[in-house]
């Protein structure tokens, strides 16, 4: 789908080069009646890097999204040129009369400073209060989450004796949470902070712990009454972000150990893999899907459910894409695991959906680009070997190539009559749409 970004924003040209669809038109061209209006309050030092991290995830989501970059009134950055802020950012006063479907508040390198001593604290608290009546859903990241919890609940975040730094496995505590659909039981996440909220400091009742880790503490909280998510870590980070922070701290003369569980064989010269990207994408997809359901209730749900299996375009190339419908035992085969298999097989995923079937089953729709019928069959067989997968249906470009495989069946059943009986099953379930 399309993402609407300011003309000339560095992230825009990078996303265009990566094949995404940045646009300037104010008209949504998809099934949505309008783009989702998402504001980003970017408090990170290197604005352009954070802009790209967040917009890359939203550009890959199956929704039309228009981004507005916001800063507190009088905000000054010591690491981003004033020209960049003046050209691409709006002050809060300039947007305070508007309503937004979602607001993302980033982290900031000030977690060791008492909130009241942060230069823009008064302006930030005004923005946080404004969200109550002007924003449908909020997503706070790292210090942004700490600041919001202090303002709304008076929770102070103690400074750590040593920076929490590395990639840590998190355990999902609320598998039924909408924002964690498709996550499975655990997921890795980059951690980079000098302060840490404790479970004991949380008020009873209002905040839900969605994910945490014995090594790195709380990871993700939800506050349903405010429509807020509080993420203390960084699923939006790129593969090299922790490495760049490590080098920066060394050059600044800080005592810093290499990030844990990050470099292959603990070798800082080795290229670190991005093991968390599928989960970062899925979290943003789920967040936007929930917003879309709230603010666009009149959308044609059946039409949206058809989006994945409908023909995307008349390419004239029978191998232009391949659709898969995967039936699996719920909790055994998560979407990130399937996407990792896609990457391991050398394919590129265009889109995915997770459906709840009931009776202990889940449905996952998957679309791949540029894959032959033979490759599709090999890929389907590899998926069928995944734990918990029961059946796989496949349809090639234009519906010309179709097959159905079941666990324990030695050969696929092929024919044009196999997919239609599956489609009503898809259309009757609410969906979580994701783009990878």
Domain ranges of the chain: 2-295, 301-434
Tell me yes or no: is domain 301-434 CATH 3.40.50.2300.
no
Please count the CA atoms within 13 angstroms of the CA of 342 that sit on its side-chain side.
24
Residue 385's pLDDT is what? 77
Of the candidate CATH numbers 3.40.50.300, 1.10.540.10, 3.30.450.20, 3.40.50.880, the domain formed by 2-295 belongs to 3.40.50.880
**Which amino acids are annotated catalytic?**
142, 234, 236
Residue 252 burial by CB count (10 A; 0-12/13-18/19+): exposed, middle or buried? exposed
The predicted model scores a pTM of 0.71
Q: What angle do CA 160, 155, 72 make, to 5 degrees?
A: 90
Neighbours of 277 (CB within 10 A): 23
CA distances from 143 to 35, 44, 128, 428 (A): 28, 10, 14, 41
Of 88, 37, 26, 42, give the one whose Cα is nearest residue 63.
37
Residue 337's pLDDT is what? 81
Residue 166's pLDDT is what? 97
Q: Give the whole-angstrom CA distance, residue 134 versus residue 184.
A: 33
Those residues of the chain that have pLDDT short of 70 are: 1, 24-32, 297-321, 356-360, 370, 396-436
Q: Give the whole-angstrom CA distance, residue 49 versus residue 70.
A: 15
């Amino acid at each position: 789908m399309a993402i609407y970004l300011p003309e000339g924003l560095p992230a825009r040209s990078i996303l265009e080069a990566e094949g995404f669809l940045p646009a300037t038109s104010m008209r949504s061209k998809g099934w949505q009646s309008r783009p989702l209006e998402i504001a980003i309050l970017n408090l990170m030092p290197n604005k352009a890097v954070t802009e790209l991290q967040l917009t890359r995830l939203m550009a890959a989501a199956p929704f039309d999204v228009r981004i507005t970059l916001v800063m507190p009134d009088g905000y000054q950055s010591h690491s981003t040129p004033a020209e960049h802020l003046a050209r691409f950012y709006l002050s809060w006063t300039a947007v305070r009369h508007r309503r937004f479907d979602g607001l993302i508040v980033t982290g900031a390198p000030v977690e060791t400073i008492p909130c009241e001593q942060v230069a823009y604290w008064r302006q930030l608290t005004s923005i946080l209060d404004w969200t109550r009546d002007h924003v449908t859903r909020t997503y706070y990241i790292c210090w942004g989450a700490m600041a919001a919890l202090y303002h709304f609940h008076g929770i102070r975040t103690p400074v750590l004796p040593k920076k929490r730094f590395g990639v840590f496995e998190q355990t999902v505590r609320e598998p039924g949470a909408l924002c964690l659909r498709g996550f499975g039981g655990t997921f890795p996440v980059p951690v980079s902070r000098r302060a840490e909220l404790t479970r004991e400091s949380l008020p009873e009742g209002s905040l839900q712990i969605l994910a945490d880790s014995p090594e790195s503490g709380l990871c993700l909280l939800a506050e349903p009454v405010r429509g807020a998510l509080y993420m203390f870590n960084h699923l939006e980070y790129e593969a090299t972000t922790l490495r760049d922070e490590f080098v920066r701290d060394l050059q600044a003369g800080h005592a810093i150990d290499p990030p844990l569980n990050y470099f292959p064989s603990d070798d800082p010269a080795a290229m670190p893999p991005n093991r968390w990207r599928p989960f970062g994408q899925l979290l943003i997809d789920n967040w936007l899907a929930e917003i879309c359901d709230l603010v666009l209730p009149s959308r044609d749900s059946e039409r949206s459910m058809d989006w994945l299996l409908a023909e995307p375009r008349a390419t004239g190339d029978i191998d232009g894409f391949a659709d898969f419908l995967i039936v699996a035992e719920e909790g055994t085969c998560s979407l990130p695991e399937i996407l990792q298999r896609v990457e391991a097989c050398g394919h590129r995923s265009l889109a995915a959906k997770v459906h709840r079937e009931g009776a202990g089953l889940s449905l996952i729709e998957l679309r791949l680009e540029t894959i032959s019928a033979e490759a599709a069959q090999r890929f389907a067989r590899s998926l069928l070997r995944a734990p918990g997968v029961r059946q796989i249906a496949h349809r090639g470009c234009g519906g010309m190539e179709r097959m159905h495989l079941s666990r324990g069946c030695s050969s696929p059943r092929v024919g044009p009559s196999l997919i239609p009986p599956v489609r009503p099953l898809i259309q009757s379930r609410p969906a979580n749409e994701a783009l990878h």
